[in-house]
């Protein structure tokens, strides 16, 4: 497994174009793996996420079973001249070695961009419809419902800093809610379909309860819309 970080040059028009559509970014990410063809069966999951830390600090993270080649992204949305001077233009790390070091009871800061949804039925006899959670309380509840099976638990705030009536009992911030609406080409037809989804970013602190389950989540992702930049959780030392 590999974890890759690529800084996007937001001053370039092509970079802004690729950032404008998760479908376009998905295609750019998958183009980094020459061994993965559209006809390849049982392709390992490739996860990616965009972190918008500042207007000039936009980072692409990719978790993958294969080492990526992002030369095309450097040419389109990076700094080609700097890369030509001896640097690749991106950094790839041995993710497997990090995953193997996860221990039960250890505490980590985490970041996750996700598509928190639930299924609702408006009236009897009609199919359920996937609907986004739109309030921080329900978005937090979505993550809490998945923590046990995902091998972690959110760290609680000290008792004197909890505001449980507002769902603010945990060391987690929910931010950067985005409502995305973009075109996707239908397979075989070439006709565009509209895709709409809501994403939010969770920044917080967790404790590992089941290292194997958490490793699986870090590799395979959590929630829906993984092809569109959702589901990739990354960890950083809590101190």
Do 139 and 182 share a domain, yes or no?
A: yes
Among residues 98, 124, 149, which one ends one of the domains? 98
Residue recorded with tokens 């939010």? 200
End-of-domain residue from the set 72, 98, 124: 98
Range of the domain at 90: 2-98
**Confidence at 215, pLDDT banded by 50, 70, 90:** very high
54/115 same-domain check: no
Report the share of the chain in percent with pLDDT over 90.
66
- pLDDT of 113 higher than 90: yes
Which of the listed residues 38, 69, 98 is the one where a domain comes to its end? 98
98-111 pLDDT, tens digit per residue, is: 999 999 999 999 99
Q: 229: burial class by Cβ within 10 Å (0-12, 13-18, 19+)? A: buried
CATH value at residue 86? 3.30.70.1200
Which pLDDT belongs to residue 10? 93
What residue has token string 């389109």? 76
Same domain, 26 and 46: yes
Provide the number of structural domains found in the chain.
2
- Give yes or no for residue 186 having a pLDDT over 60: no
Is-above-0.85 flag for pTM?
yes
Dist. CA 121–CA 192, nearest whole Å: 27
Residue 110 CB neighbour total at 10 angstroms: 20
CATH of the domain at 121: 3.30.70.1210
- Shared domain check, 121 and 94: no
> Is 110 found in the same domain as 46?
no
* Rounded Cα distance, 23 and 34, in Å: 19
Instruction: Give every CB contact of residue 171 below 8 A, 6+ residues apart in sequence.
Output: 154, 155, 156, 157, 204, 205
Residue labelled with tokens 């609702």: 120
> Which tokens in the block code for residue 195?
């895709």
Same domain membership, residue 171 and residue 195: yes
């Amino acid at each position: 497994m590999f974890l890759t970080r690529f800084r996007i040059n937001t001053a370039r028009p092509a970079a802004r174009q690729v950032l404008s559509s998760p479908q376009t970014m998905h295609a750019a990410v998958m183009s980094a793996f020459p061994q993965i063809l559209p006809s390849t069966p049982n392709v390992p999951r490739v996860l990616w996420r965009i972190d918008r830390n500042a207007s000039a600090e936009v980072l692409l993270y990719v978790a993958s079973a294969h080492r990526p080649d992002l030369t095309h992204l450097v040419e389109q949305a990076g700094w080609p001249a700097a890369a030509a001077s001896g640097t690749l233009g991106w950094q790839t790390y041995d993710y497997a070695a990090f995953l193997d070091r996860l221990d039960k009871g250890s505490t980590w800061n985490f970041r996750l961009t996700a598509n928190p949804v639930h299924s609702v039925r408006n009236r009897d006899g009609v199919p359920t419809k996937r609907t986004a959670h739109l309030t921080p309380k329900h978005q937090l509840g979505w993550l809490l419902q998945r923590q046990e099976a995902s091998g972690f638990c959110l760290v609680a705030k000290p008792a004197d800093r909890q505001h449980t009536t507002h769902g603010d009992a945990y060391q987690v911030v929910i931010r950067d809610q985005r409502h995305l609406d973009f075109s996707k080409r239908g397979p075989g037809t070439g006709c565009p379909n509209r895709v709409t989804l809501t994403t939010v970013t969770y920044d917080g602190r967790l404790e590992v309860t089941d290292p194997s389950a958490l490793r699986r989540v870090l590799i395979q992702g959590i929630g829906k819309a993984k092809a569109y930049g959702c589901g990739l959780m990354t960890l950083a030392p809590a101190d």
